[in-house]
Structure 1
Amino acid sequence: MTVNEYLLHGYFLALSLALSLALTAVARRLALRWDLLDHPAGRKIHVEPMPLMGGAAIVLTFYLVVLGHLAAVYLSHRFGRGYVERELFGFLGEDGGWKMAGILTGGVMIFVLGVIDDLHVLSPKMKLLGQIAVGLVLVGSGMRIELFFFTDPFTSSAVTLFWVVLVINSMNLLDNMDGLSGGVAVISAATFYLCIQPFADERMARILLVVFMGAVGGFLWHNLPPARIFMGDCGAMFNGYFLATISVVGTFHVEGAGSRVAVAAPLLALSVPLFDTFSVIWIRWRCGDSIFLGDKRHFSHRLVKAGMSKSSAVWFIYFVAAVVGLGGALLPRLDTHGTFIILAQSAGVFMLIVLLMKAGDNGRGDL
């Protein structure tokens, strides 16, 4: 990338960060005024009612910055419609405008689903159906995971749908401590930014990532321990949807450049939420509980039970996400031997975490 591109990315990051900082402060005041609060109960660890509209600030920032600049470029005499569809939507392939519309529409849908869940607490089945509908919009607009043996339309569509729903839920499940889900979302987005191949037609993907990092980062300033506002399901599910979408449309490997194993980069970028999801499902299943039953057996909760403070647990998880994410960022630049070394090291990190937490479990059966 050129210096001008880095400066452009810095501009988008600073703009979205500043806007999100301001909008999150406004959202907090409105949530308090309108009594849109998350009250302490059951498996929740906060002890006082907490404003819930942080997700609205994230999503509003993202759409204002993206749509505002797209409209300005589209209407300008210097660039116009042809430039937008050719240069900005080129990373989406054919029918780039239609696919971008699908991405943005799906984002609005998952946000609305999250708002409904925040206000009325949907059943797991209803929430899952809504997430599947959002995934179908993405697939229906032409975006599918097509690699190795996932090449026919039916298989690739099914795999894409499963992946999108999995990542949405993983980011939502990770939202269980102050600053945790938002911080991991920023780290994952930064990993994707480093992973995506530096081709000219990928410029819009990188712009979307820096806008997203700024939008979530501005909220995170208000959400770090002790949190002053929560993002709610509307924010956590939007974050998961966006990261899943980027992992589908981004280019992580091209023939003749590095190893084909580089397509596993999204797994490392999202390793922390995926580890949390699969480990907690395993624990619930082993204990004979419903896998849909909320509890305090997530990655962060188990670290606290092992002796960490809540704040230390959050920062430890940030560290794990960053270390494994940096390995993921290297995958597109390594040969086959190098990629397998990175994958083995990443697996070793999580195996070590499991062993350490098991040693501190003291027979409680949480691992």
Structure 2
Amino acid sequence: MSLTLAWLLPALAALFGSVLLCRLAMRYAVRLGFLDRPGSEAHKQHTRTVPYGGGPAMALALAVTLSLAAWVLPLPDGSGLLPWPMLAGAAWLVVVGLADDARPLPPRLKLALQAVVCAGAVSFADLPIDFLRAWNPVLAWITAFAWLVLVTNAYNLLDHADGLSGSVAVVGFCALAGGAVLSGDAGAARVWLCLAMAMLGFLMWNRPPARLYMGDAGSLAIGFLIGCGTLSTTFWPSAEGGSPLALLSPLLICAIPLFDTGAVVVKRLRRGRPIMQGDRNHISHRLTRLGVGARASLGAVIALQIALAASSFQLRNADWMSGVVALAQAAAICIALVLLETARDHG
């Protein structure tokens, strides 16, 4: 069987499996009372009761799809599954997220549980950054750990509006799949593509107005996996004479979640509020205050993230001048986001 079919068939299975399992999760969550009610947390702006369950449904669809694909459609190099520390870490974060969705955990405990998972992944999944590890292994470990914790939380915090975190994650997983293809890693490409398609299946029920939420059970695991992906994917093919500017690719792939997290943290610090206390100063809240509708704001954020992710590919084999142009494009988008953050700043 061709490599294209070995990617395409599992991706379609992940898509339709996610659509079906999310529908079942929605039904049973309502029966069990596993619901997100309006006003349950300060940063949430929905006005209707919405069932949880999208996170576990996507996880189950992905687990079944990748397991069957590894058995029925093996790749030539025998790959096709994530390293076990990544799988175990993602599974653990689904459990932590479920507990938090059922009854909110203290923020410090939640962060500590994430830190344990991230430390395990960096230690056992061989994630430390190669160019730093050659110079200072301890610094490489600390940097990789801090990055993984940051990205995990950034995607979690971005999950404050219908379809937002999931849509941005689809762009991130597609970028990782593209990076894996260019690096010749067929197994990783299949995994990231299946993740993107499983997320698309969930978005069928999560687009505005949402009928299902993934909850922390989904957003924590997604952020963790994208963080792992940006650490494990080779963006700088130095052996092929690629540009070292490609090392900035992970920042561009995760730009919207990182910017949103940074902006709200700065605002909370400036106003003397606890940084772990939710509020309504996230990007979707600010767009709403500017009079932008839910669908329009979602489309705008997706377009910005696609442009930023595209810039990351421009950096891969760019000469210095082309790299500067790509970075200037990314900088222009970030400046636009800064202007958005300062517009009608009364949140």
TM range (shorter): over 0.9
TM-score w.r.t. structure 1 length?
A: 0.88
Q: Point out the more displaced range, 254-263 or 216-225.
A: 254-263
The corresponding residue for 2:281 is: 297
* Counterparts in 2 of 1:199 and 1:357: CA distance versus 1, 3 Å: closer
8 Å CA contact 2:10–2:69 kept in 1: the answer is no
The corresponding residue for 2:318 is: 334
The corresponding residue for 1:269 is: 253
* Counterparts in 2 of 1:196 and 1:263: CA distance versus 1, 3 Å: farther
Do structure 1's residue 100 and structure 2's residue 99 form an aligned pair? no
Q: CA deviation at 1:135?
A: 0.7
Structure 1 unmatched runs, 5+? 90-96
8 Å CA contact 2:163–2:207 kept in 1: the answer is yes
Aligned-residue sequence identity (percent) comes to 29
| 1:289-328 correspondence to structure 2 within 5 Å | 289-328=273-312
Rounded to whole Å, the distance in 1 between the matches of 2:103 and 2:60 is 21
Q: CA deviation at 1:193?
A: 2.0
Q: CA deviation at 1:219?
A: 0.4
The corresponding residue for 2:146 is: 162
8 Å CA contact 1:27–1:54 kept in 2: the answer is yes
Q: CA deviation at 1:209?
A: 0.6
Q: Point out the more displaced range, 286-295 or 251-260.
A: 251-260
Which digits, 9 at most, give the CA deviation of each residue in 1:72-105, with x for residues without a partner?
568xxxx8xxx6xx5427xxxxxxx9x8111111
Which digits, 9 at most, give the CA deviation of each residue in 1:209-264, with x for residues without a partner?
11101111100010001110000000011110111111111111122332011121
Q: Provide the secondary structure at the position in 1 that maps to 2:216.
A: helix
User: What code does the residue aligned with 1:128 have?
Assistant: L
Rounded to whole Å, the distance in 2 between the matches of 1:291 and 1:141 is 30
The corresponding residue for 2:126 is: 143
2:25 to 11, 24, 27: 27
8 Å CA contact 1:195–1:328 kept in 2: the answer is no
The corresponding residue for 1:208 is: 191
Rounded to whole Å, the distance in 2 between the matches of 1:33 and 1:354 is 43
1:233 to 187, 212, 216: 216
8 Å CA contact 2:183–2:234 kept in 1: the answer is no
8 Å CA contact 2:86–2:228 kept in 1: the answer is yes
User: What code does the residue aligned with 1:28 have?
Assistant: M
Q: CA deviation at 1:329?
A: 2.1
Rounded to whole Å, the distance in 2 between the matches of 1:315 and 1:65 is 29
Q: Point out the more displaced range, 25-34 or 185-194.
A: 185-194
The corresponding residue for 2:68 is: 68
User: What code does the residue aligned with 1:146 have?
Assistant: I
Which digits, 9 at most, give the CA deviation of each residue in 1:97-145, with x for residues without a partner?
9x81111111111111111111120111001111011112212214223
Structure 2 unmatched runs, 5+? none
The corresponding residue for 1:45 is: 45
8 Å CA contact 1:195–1:332 kept in 2: the answer is no
8 Å CA contact 1:195–1:330 kept in 2: the answer is no
Q: Provide the secondary structure at the position in 1 that maps to 2:315.
A: helix
8 Å CA contact 1:303–1:357 kept in 2: the answer is no
The corresponding residue for 1:244 is: 227
User: What code does the residue aligned with 2:114 have?
Assistant: Q
8 Å CA contact 2:84–2:125 kept in 1: the answer is no
Which digits, 9 at most, give the CA deviation of each residue in 1:276-303, with x for residues without a partner?
0111111111111111110000011111
Rounded to whole Å, the distance in 2 between the matches of 1:344 and 1:199 is 25
Number of aligned residues: 343
Rounded to whole Å, the distance in 2 between the matches of 1:213 and 1:356 is 28
Q: Provide the secondary structure at the position in 2 that maps to 1:343.
A: helix
Q: CA deviation at 1:266?
A: 1.3
Q: Provide the secondary structure at the position in 1 that maps to 2:2.
A: helix
